[in-house]
Every structure is written in C-alpha cells, then in structure tokens.
Structure 1
Amino acid sequence: MKLRRIATAVLSTTVLASGMVSAQTVFTVSSWVPPAHTLSMAQKSWCDLLEKESAGRMKCNILPKGVAAAPGTFDAVRDGLADISYTVDGYTPGRFINTQLAEFPFLGDSATATSVAYQRIYSKYFAPLGEHRGVKTLAVFTHGPGIIFTTKQAVTSAADVAKLKFRIGGGNINELSRAMGWNTTLKPAPESFEMLSTGVMDGTFFPDESVASFKLSMVRHATTFPGGLYNTSFVFMMNEDKYKALSAQDKAVVDKISGETAARIFGEGWDRVDASSRELQKTQGVARIAADQAFVQAVKDKQAALENKWSDAAQAKGLKDPKAVLAEFRAEIAKVK
C-alpha cells in the first residue's frame, strides 16, 4: 500500500509538472433580463464560444437571476459581485460621455451594422481614453432602431407625443425628449410591462424586439423613423481582476472572441428578434406608420444642438475632433455587411 501511495504521488506530480492537468476557470455570469431575452441568449452564446475556444479550460456559471438591477450592473462587475455581464451606459446619466455617440437618431436599421461599426470606433478612439475604467471591456454594441410604441393612440407628430407619457431608457433620448418638450420617465426596460399595463405610461420608446421580449400585448401603435429615433449604447464586460488572473493563453482566447466577434453576436441576435417581433406585432394588430418628413425634421432640428453639446463634452474628455469621429461612425455603419 505504501508503494502504491508513493507511485500515485509521483504520477500526480509528473502530470502536474507536464501541464496535463490545469485548473478550470469558472466565470459567474449575470443578466438583468429573462433567460430567453436576446441579451441573455447572446451572452450565453459568447460563453459557449469561450468554452469551445479554450478547450474547456474556461466556462460560465450563468446565474438564474441578476446580481443587480441594470443601473447597478457596471459597479457590480467592477466590484466582483459578478465576473461577466453587460449594461446600458445611459442608465447612469452623465457617467459616460463618449459613448453617447452610439445613442443618436437615424444611425441605421440593423443592430449588427451599428454594433460592429460602434466597436470599431470604440476600439480606435474611446478605449484609449478609459471611460469604462474599472472593468475589462469585452465589447460594445447597440440594439436595433428605436421606435415610439403606444397603447391607445397613434402619434404622427411631435405635438402628439407631447400629449402622452412615455418610458425611456436614458442616454441621448433622455436629452432629446426634454428638448422636444416630451413627458418621459427614465426607467429600466424590465419595468415596462407594469407601467404600460397599469396605464401609468401611455407608451414606451423601444426597438421592435422589446414588444416580444417583455410581452407588451397592450401595444397597439408604432411610429418608426429612418435609422431609428434613437439607439442605445451597451457595454459587455468582465471583472478586471478576474481577467488579469488568467494565463496568457486564456487571455488570448478571451481577446480573440471579444471586440467585433462579440459585438456581432449581440447585434445579429438582436436583428433576428427584431424581425420575429415585427411578425408578432402583425398578429397582435399593431398599426405601424412611418414618421413623415415634418416629424423627422423636428427631431433633426433639436438633435443638432445636442450633437454640438456632445462634441464639446467629448472634447473635454480628451476626444479629438468628435464631429469627425461621428461622421466616421456613420460612414462605418454603411460599410458593415
């Protein structure tokens, strides 16, 4: 027996020394929307890719419930309550400036195109400025074009919107709404069903996806804009200490599937659900209209001042020639396939 124990110990030491056995890294992953939501599904797809690309050395433990509400998620990941999650930059007003570029109206009709283009601009201009300091940024992305949804009446003009109460998700649309004189309240997306079903709000600003994801069966009208009334900047992130503790080999795997790869996973997932939600809206009887030229121009007139304001604030944060960066972003969106 003694000889057997010695042999076992020698074999174990040899195996460890040869690198045949290595500890598995398990990431605690949090999501503040339901598991079937496209955000949760895209995050899981990225986790599956992580496990595959690392040959099982890294995997995710996806929690059944988020460790924090959406506005607190950035700090939760920074502080180690979760290793991986995502959040909306605009849920904490005034904290992130450069990323507001991805929230402007009329950017495009595809979440994939805006997400990939945004990631390219972020990597080139924003990442070096460290606005998301405290976490390891895995990717940035956007949802599909923002739409005005209402429960009882259609809105065909800026004046129509001003007569109603709306939930919004923050960011540039918050400032644009104030400039337009609209009655809006900043609330996280998961609160929409209760606010609309109880009549506390008359409508919400959302991408198509959300009508299906949040089961907004009370929605009856939709007003669309070319390229969207607004968009939303998301950050997909990892706890910085968790990333730093990885081996060089595993860091390389994380880096390989981050950036554009991750942005495309989130964007393509959103485009698919936007499309399926539009089909659902048909069966739900949602009447869909396009904003006319006067309505679009009214938004453009107010947005122009907001883009000037953003440019000044971004320049103060260290971004050189913000308007040129915005023009490059719009051009990049048009190039992404």
Structure 2
Amino acid sequence: MKLKPNLLAGAALSAVLAVSGAVSAEAKTKLKISHYLPTVHGLHTDFVVPWAQEVTECTGGEVEFDIFPGGTQLGNVARQQEQVMAGVVDIALGLTGIPRGRFPRTSLIDMPFLTDSAASATYTLWSMLPNELADDYKGMKVLGLFAHNPGVIHTATKKVEKMEDLKDLRIRTPSPAVSEMLSYLGATPQGLPPGEVYENLQRGVLDGTVFPWDPVKSFGLNEVLKYHLEAGVYTVSFFFVMNERSYKKLSPEVQACIDKYSGDALEPKFGPWWDKWDEPGRQEAIAAGHEITTLSPEERDRWREALQPMMAKYVEQVKASGVDNAQEIYETMKAKVAEYDAAH
C-alpha cells in the first residue's frame, strides 16, 4: 500500500528559512529558531515567521533568524526543550507534554474540564508564569506560553458518542494528562509525534487521535478520518522559549526588541489565532462528508464524574515528582480561568 508522504518531510525541502523582513543590511547576529510543525501550519505562518520579521526590523538588521521547521534536522518535537537548553538552537517552540515530565507545573493546564478556550488557557498560563510556573523554565527566557482550543476526538472507522464507544480504541495522545484521561475513559492511549499520526491511522495501527481542528488539516488527516466528536474536555499547552545565555549575550537594544514582541504582546493573540486556524480543518471535514457530533450535556456529566479520580491522581503524581504545591497550582489555574471567563 502506498503511503502518503509525511507533510513534515515536505517542509524539509525548504531546509532553513532565512527571515530578514524588509531589512537589507547584513545582520550582525544570526539566531536559530526550531519547531516541529509543517510550514503550512498557522503557528509557522502567522506566528513564528512574522515574529522573527518584526524583531529583525526592530533591531535594524542587527539580528536575523534561521527557522528550522518540522521535517528538518532540528524539527523533532521531542527535542525542542533540550535543544534550546543546550544552545543547539537559540529559540524553540514545543509541546510541554513531550517528552513527559519536563514541565510538571505547566502540565496541570492539560487537565480535563479546566478550560474551554485557547484564550482562557493562554491567559492563565502567562499570568501564572512569574510565580507558580517559573521553576519549570530554569535556564530559559520564556517568550510565550499558550494552549490550543478544546480538543476533538477524531476516529477513522468507529463513531464515538459516549464513554463506552472509546473502549479499547487506540488513540494517539499528546501529553501525560490526556493519556490518563483517555485511559480512564476506556481507550488505549498511544504516544506519537503529530507527524506520525497519518501513516498509523492509514495502516490501522491507530483507531483515532485527539487534536484540535487545525492540525487535522495541516497534517492531512481528514483523508484518513471519518468521525469527529467535539468533546471539549481538554487542552494541550505549548512553550516558546529562548536559551537564557543567548538572550543575555544580545545588546540591550536587541533584548528590548525581543521583549516588545513577546510575552504580554503575544498572550492576547493566541485565542483569535486558534479560532482562525481551527475553522479550515472543520470545514474540510464537512466538505468530505464526515460526521461531526458534540458531546451531549448528559454524557459530559458522566465523563466529568468518571474522571474525578483521574484528576485527583494526576495532581498527586505531579506532587510526587517534586512539586509540593501541585494542588495549589491547580486551584489557582481554575481561579484564573474563571477570572478570564468572567471578564469576557
């Protein structure tokens, strides 16, 4: 059987994307940015590339950036954090749940029924960074923390409407918290990088996956999926970080430019961005004749009740990993989400 080429491999053809914006002067400093996504993804086209252009222009050409997306030698999703810590790259965008255990405090945002939008989750993460989450990022200059919209359960051959439908289904999972959730709901979680999901669905190694709508389109997954349950019970978090040594080597003027377009400037953008990125994936599924269902209020209550032990267990696991105040962090996250929702 002929397999669809990995979309990430296509990104490798572009190898390194030099970003210089409208600046023609020769840059004094070249910085490397890596991420794990294809170049058609919104995080690349709407976020990383424009961000690099803005910083380059702000510095008058003192810095430029080489971007290494998914499919390049530096585009492995499991290596983003270690690459930036080692100085192999200067800046990295990655998933906080891969590899497991690197960001235990931040991972609590991935708990089920905690957030219902990318905007509220992103606000919560960024507002908690200075105090509750700072220890997750020692040795790194944090440029942004964010999360996606509530995820969808996508399946290839079996429609999922209730908990029992998930029993024994092999579902790709993006993080430890989501893995625990799927297990408690009866599924069999399978940890895989996003770029390997297409082939494993096509070959029947996977029965389904959890993603928001945007990667379903950018990774071509509507070709091998048929059913989509808009469950809205979890999110997944991301980091955008810089090697602290690389940052400190820069001139104060360049540091100011990086700060200008990061942090507080980024936080309000992710909610609207994710709404924009999700819609094409959903519309593509509709056009393909797929069946899209929404978790009923009654079934949602069943899931919430079934997952209470899982949520308590996960907090204890984070505490056992050395985060003594895990419960307090979780409670603060709930309060921050409520604070955001009340204001919007």
Say which one has the larger Rg. 1
TM-score with structure 2 setting the length = 0.83
In the alignment, what sits opposite 1:334? Answer: 341
Query: Helix, strand or coil for the counterpart of 1:91?
Result: coil
Q: Whose RCO is larger (CA < 8 A, sep 6+)?
A: 1
Unaligned runs of 5+ in 1: 1-20
Using the size of structure 1 for normalisation, the TM-score is 0.85
Alignment of 1:77 onto 2:84 = yes
The aligned counterpart of 2:197 is 192
Among 59, 79, 83, the residue aligned to 2:64: 59
SS of 2:307's partner is helix
| DSSP-derived class of the 2:137 partner | coil
Cα offset for 1:24?
2.5
Distance 1:318 1:257, change over 3 A: farther
2:164 match = 159
CA distance in 2, matches of 1:126, 1:58: 29
SS of the aligned residue for 2:277 comes to helix
Relative distance call for 1:66 and 1:138 in structure 2 (3 A) is: farther
- More displaced stretch, 44-53 vs 257-266: 257-266
Task: Indicate yes or no: 2:219 matched with 1:214.
Answer: yes
Q: What is the CA distance between 1:124 and its match in structure 2?
A: 4.2
- Provide the residue aligned with 2:323 in structure 1: 317
Secondary structure, in 3 states, of the residue corresponding to 2:136?
coil
One of 251, 257, 261 as aligned partner of 1:257: 261
Q: What does residue 298 of structure 1 align with?
A: 302
CA distance in 1, matches of 2:82, 2:114: 29
Q: Which amino acid aligns with 1:162?
A: K
**CA distance in structure 2 between the aligned counterparts of 1:265 and 1:55, rounded to whole angstroms:** 25
1:66 offset after TM fit, Å? 4.7
Work out the CA distance in 1 between the residues paired with 2:318 and 2:60: 42
Cα distance, 1:179 vs structure 2: 2.3
- The 1:202–1:181 alpha-carbon spacing in structure 2 relative to 1, beyond 3 Å, is same
- For residue 186 of structure 1, report the CA deviation from its aligned partner: 0.8
Q: Does 1:110 align with 2:117?
A: yes
Aligned to 1:122: 129
Question: What is aligned with 2:283?
Answer: 279
Contact 1:113 1:336 in 2 (8 A): no
- Of 105, 108, 111, the residue aligned with 1:98 is 105
Match of 1:44 in 2: 49
Q: Is the 8 A contact 1:177 1:183 kept in 2?
A: yes
Counterpart Cα distance in 2 of 1:101 and 1:189: 21
Cα deviation for residue 70 of structure 1 reads 0.6
Superposition RMSD in Å: 2.3
Inter-CA distance 107–284: structure 2 relative to 1 (3 Å threshold)? farther
Q: CA deviation at 1:325?
A: 0.5
State the Cα distance separating 1:73 from its structure 2 match.
1.2
Deviation at 1:143, TM superposition (A): 1.2
Q: Alignment partner of 1:26: what SS?
A: strand
Partner secondary structure for residue 112 of structure 1: helix
Q: Is the 8 A contact 1:78 1:135 kept in 2?
A: yes
* Structure 2: stretches of 5+ with no match in the other structure: 1-24
Q: Distance in 2 between matches of 1:150 and 1:322?
A: 33
Superposed CA deviations along residues 99-143 of structure 1, whole A, max 9, x for unmatched, are 12221223444323322332112234212xx21223222111111
Q: Match for 2:142: what amino acid?
A: T
Give the alignment partner of residue 186 of structure 2, picking from 181, 185, 188. Answer: 181
Alpha-carbon distance in structure 2 between the residues aligned to 1:335 and 1:245: 42
Shift of 1:267: 4.1
What is residue 32 of structure 2 aligned with on the other side? 28
Q: Which amino acid aligns with 2:108?
A: L
Q: Identity across aligned pairs (percent)? A: 27
Post-superposition Cα deviations, 1:273-315, rounded to whole Å, max 9, x if no partner, equal 1012211111111211111234322321243233334444556
Moved more, 260-269 or 70-79: 260-269
How far apart, in 1, do the equivalents of 2:249 and 2:309 lie?
Answer: 45
Alpha-carbon contact 1:223-1:288 (below 8 Å) kept: yes
> Is the Cα contact below 8 Å between 2:151 and 2:210 reproduced in 1?
yes
On the 8 A contact 1:114/1:141 being kept in 2, the answer is yes
Further displaced range: 161-170 or 261-270: 261-270
Counterpart in the other structure of 2:96 = 89
CA contact (8 A) 1:112 1:271 kept: no
Q: Which residue of the partner structure matches residue 146 of structure 1?
A: 151
